Structure 1
């Protein structure tokens, strides 16, 4: 795509308009709550019924709340947010007049409407391709449910009605109740009328809010990658893949690609909950990184997506920082040096004992390239990986390939552990990391196997390194590793100890501490990994997107992708 211009902060006019819209929303809510001028209400009562005035006041408050919500979309330049804000501002002018002849409030809404029209050019982010139909479906669905439920409530209270209104009057009453207007049906008991009004009014408000949220939702396109894209990406990984251990994971089929015009570099990303989430460094020549980063950022700006990079290395973090993103350290990657790794010494005692114990139990372990496995053996490995998986969810995004047995991944190194009876009890898959490295992708083991199975497979991978020309082995990534390491040192301060306690609490759900300790026992070299983001206020939504991508939170929609574990 053509490289565009990206700005690390929203332009002043757009950010200011978003704040003004939100302030106007708060103002609308306040005016709806405050009592109206008595003289104006008396004059208005001659033209508007009391029910209409009360409905207008409630609608003004709802419009104000909607404007506050729209501010976030306006800040990101979304066209749909601007369109809806224009409609709400225009509607608010009439609502202020109907609810109490509030000329000042109506003038404020008119000024806001004029401002929105004047800055139309600032809001060009493209909407999602299906958000309009989803919004319409939600509006019709909730409104239809409220209408039918209101009709049913009138029917079951037919003996409490005044007169004999027909079904047509019932339907009119239920329909008007959706917009907060009293219908023609009269009830003998006030509580019955209130029940119908509350039910229909609640569903009507729910329909509008749900439609607004879906209407503003940014699109999450399914990545489209051609065979040419795949070939070009593999060529770049062959030439430049040694720079980043996460590079091979760009071959995941659920990641889209943004290329430089020359094809010398690409950013692999996935759109999750309105966040354009990249992982690792850009792929390709480092001199071409600024161009492809600019193209990725401009594409996110065009669609209203928040850019974020998960787990990039030092070089990638510097490149993204030069492009305008903020950078914080996210954690450390454990890397083993094959040439210096040894089981000797007191520090490696626990690993050494675990390996010796399971070997004495009759377990053996071998390392082999995937392409050297026979079709029958590969099918057995895939079947075992499915059986050993803990749960139905396939986790991983930044450091997981999420497939096993694909012929295109023939260079992956498989480490297979068998028991004394020759049964496969555990496996590791490492993806290539340049010409002389491997990066851990998949770790599966039989839960009934003795302790030490994982240690045996990791040690086997390192010991087999020279045979395969491997000099470095990347293990798992430890989030905020330095917090755990420093908290154990003498003199750790109260803030660090508090942070450590919080992380240990989170570890009960996400195994943060256990993953760090599982890596630390091999005495690896720790290489920092970073998180890149536009502003601090975007961090919560980025965190939700990252947890969703890594399958720790349920996804909003299923992206068509290659099966997690399959042979072709």
Structure 2
């Protein structure tokens, strides 16, 4: 019986699309789906059959007591029965996100074997490790003894370690450094039973991978290229920085390095209570304890406690880029942390000795736990010392001085504000020295304030919010300044680099788009022999090239390899953009990934004839131009009269205003690029000297001679001659043919494809290029179509019946794709404002809504 209520079409479409996406994602991973389904069914069934909410934890999840009582079934049930439905949901998501790609990579049989071995042996090894803890740390051991485990992340991490044995070198190194570093940090700072099982599972997984695939080539084990060494060191420092944060935010940190959590969660005191205690016994330990507790009271102090960790996270970005200043800063930070840990141990030892002399029986393991945090900064400092040669990039000229000025200014401004506020509250300047000292103490993270006597009672003369957050404001400024310094690229350009590049381009030639490398927005790298160069710009750590290498064709492969080494030395990821099929083959030979990013339309002038039905629109544009008295006139934009120039500028501004978006750059030139005297300009002009359209053409050189021309700039007056652009392109082609040139390139159409496939280049669409990336780029092209019309542009060019050549983007590391996407977007739209971004999203959304309504 129909209810008369039909689901909304957009909901049906969205549900169908989601189901199709889920089906595509899970294809080829039956074992993962079975494990996820078994976990869901088993969890729901067990919870439905028992009313005891603790039944699963007591009887089915893994624990030390369970195995001591010979409950061996928990090795299996702890894998598939979750303690509650929230944990079940998170587990299923984890399996779908991580288990599916792992199974695809390993194959179902190998994946199933790895899951079984890692889950069982990892659990047994983890529990054995937990039992051994009690022999040297009773407090930690007692907490582990009452813990239970249901953590699919443990065996997933172990299986990932096993799978890494057959992964490409880059991913193998990252997994084999990142996962163990994270596991060690969790075990030491959080110290739960699941953390120890996770650490043991990772070790077991490493052994399983060795058994399945044999030992790894020693040269590929960990070290690798200088760029990879930097990344791995940054991961290690990052893991050490996040450990204290983990201990602070955790409510049940039990690990040996988790003393920070206990230190910062003391019982709260009020200012009145402290004042009352200290007024009667100013030197008592109770007074000191109260003063100390006030320094930890409030969210601001909690944030301030992890400020050093946040600064280290910022420094990690500089380490990733190979900055010498980042290496020095990280080493100094580790030495400071080591010194602070030594002072903390010394202070605790003094207190422990005083109590022991008084006859109080104390557990010596607490002193051992207090000394344990010494190990982390010492180990990280040793790693930094041994990898010093990987960090050789100096900061840009003046960057360090500018950063120091910014930090000094922030310090002076905040200090003045703090002292002035306190003095006005006290109605006297008598406390200025104490307020100045107190301000300095506000900058020190709470855990280190125990070494200093407070200058003033907390909140004595300044508002509570300022007392808590003034230090946080300084550290945020410091982190932002340091990050800005690392984000500034280091260039080593010479004043005549642009002239050298142009000379090489004229002498040796390049691709049809290579003249764009002469534009002012480029930087240049030259081969050691000076015969080739690559034009590039650095955006967010991505060295984005303008087409491929320029120089003798036989040297292109060596140039690409040397440019990649140059980028690695500078901490950048190279990305060859808008390259030809030949250059892509060079990149593929290096093991790089390649993605199809557009089509170049080319007219061969030797056989050019605008005859036949296919060229009806072109002939019509000629006939209409003759009827309206419009002629095509060659000129140079730099030499045109002011009247003509003003018209061209007005036409360009009208086009930009109509888009309500900024004019695109990068591989799309504008009026500035037309100023080049070597660029030819063709205008459609009538008898009244009114300009109806304009195109610009870039020369293409081969062996010192111009052999073709590439279309760059094209605009038409909205109220003028309609087919002005068709008329100009056809007129230019006829003119170039009469001058004896070989071809005309109508340039590329970004994010658009011709009807033919890229197999015409002799390359497979899937060679080192994952299909999802191609699909993502297609989706971006469709989304931007209402605004910039890339596909419409390609369709317009098809009127001239050109042949097509694919353009590619090649890069060495697929993990850099998000950064590459950001770099390409910022290169094309470097001056996009927030309002224009909102307009772009609104236009895309409106276009999609209109399309759905039409369906």
Tell me the TM-score normalised to structure 1 length: 0.79
Q: Work out whether 1:200 is the aligned partner of 2:470.
A: yes
Contact 1:281 1:313 in 2 (8 A): yes
**Distance in 2 between residues matched to 1:40 and 1:442, nearest whole Å:** 66
SS of 1:140's equivalent in the other structure is helix
Contact 2:692 2:717 in 1 (8 A): yes
CA displacement at 1:455 relative to structure 2: 1.6
Structure 2 residue ranges without an equivalent (≥5): 1-222, 252-257, 267-284, 349-368, 447-453, 758-770, 834-855
Q: Work out whether 1:396 is the aligned partner of 2:674.
A: no
Matches within 5 A, 1:129-140: 129-140=397-408
CA displacement at 1:82 relative to structure 2: 1.7
SS of 2:713's equivalent in the other structure is strand
2:802 to 524, 541, 552: 524
- Cα 1:196–1:455 change in 2 (3 A) is same
CA displacement at 1:350 relative to structure 2: 4.9
Q: Which residue of 2 aligns with 1:209?
A: 479
1:17 to 230, 233, 243: 233
Q: Work out whether 1:377 is the aligned partner of 2:647.
A: no
Contact 1:8 1:325 in 2 (8 A): no
**Distance in 2 between residues matched to 1:442 and 1:475, nearest whole Å:** 10
Structure whose residues are more often strand by fraction? 1
CA displacement at 1:10 relative to structure 2: 4.7
Contact 1:246 1:399 in 2 (8 A): no
- Cα 1:352–1:419 change in 2 (3 A) is same
CA displacement at 1:209 relative to structure 2: 0.9
- Cα 1:138–1:279 change in 2 (3 A) is same
Contact 1:399 1:441 in 2 (8 A): yes
Contact 1:48 1:98 in 2 (8 A): no
CA RMSD of aligned residues (A): 4.0
Matches within 5 A, 1:97-136: 102-136=370-404
**Distance in 2 between residues matched to 1:180 and 1:498, nearest whole Å:** 45
Tell me the TM-score normalised to structure 2 length: 0.54
Matches within 5 A, 1:273-422: 273-323=540-590, 325-350=592-617, 352-353=619-620, 356-357=623-624, 359-366=626-633, 368=634, 370=636, 377=640, 381-390=644-653, 395-398=664-667, 400=669, 402-407=672-677, 409=678, 412-422=679-689
Ranked by relative contact order (alpha carbons within 8 Å, sequence separation 6 or more), the top structure is 1
Q: Work out whether 1:448 is the aligned partner of 2:719.
A: yes
- Cα 1:522–1:120 change in 2 (3 A) is same
Q: Which residue of 2 aligns with 1:49?
A: 292
Q: Work out whether 1:184 is the aligned partner of 2:456.
A: yes
**Distance in 1 between residues matched to 2:823 and 2:752, nearest whole Å:** 21
CA displacement at 1:420 relative to structure 2: 4.1
Structure 1 residue ranges without an equivalent (≥5): 1-6, 487-492, 556-568
Count of paired positions? 528
Contact 1:430 1:438 in 2 (8 A): yes
Matches within 5 A, 1:35-74: 49-51=292-294, 58-74=303-319
Q: Work out whether 1:32 is the aligned partner of 2:310.
A: no
CA displacement at 1:311 relative to structure 2: 0.8
Q: Which residue of 1 aligns with 2:818?
A: 540
Q: Work out whether 1:460 is the aligned partner of 2:731.
A: yes
Larger Rg: 2
- Cα 1:90–1:188 change in 2 (3 A) is closer
Contact 1:145 1:203 in 2 (8 A): no
Q: Which residue of 2 aligns with 1:75?
A: 320
Q: Which residue of 2 aligns with 1:90?
A: 335
Contact 1:223 1:254 in 2 (8 A): no
**Distance in 1 between residues matched to 2:772 and 2:584, nearest whole Å:** 30
CA displacement at 1:11 relative to structure 2: 6.1
**Distance in 2 between residues matched to 1:470 and 1:14, nearest whole Å:** 50
Structure whose residues are more often helix by fraction? 2
Kindly provide the CA deviation profile for residues 55-111 of structure 1, in whole angstroms up to 9, marking residues without a partner as x.
886445223333344434333433222222223323334556759974333322222
Contact 1:126 1:303 in 2 (8 A): no
**Distance in 2 between residues matched to 1:164 and 1:235, nearest whole Å:** 69
Q: Which residue of 2 aligns with 1:558?
A: none
Kindly provide the CA deviation profile for residues 1-52 of structure 1, in whole angstroms up to 9, marking residues without a partner as x.
xxxxxx9955665443222222222212112233666987889976992355
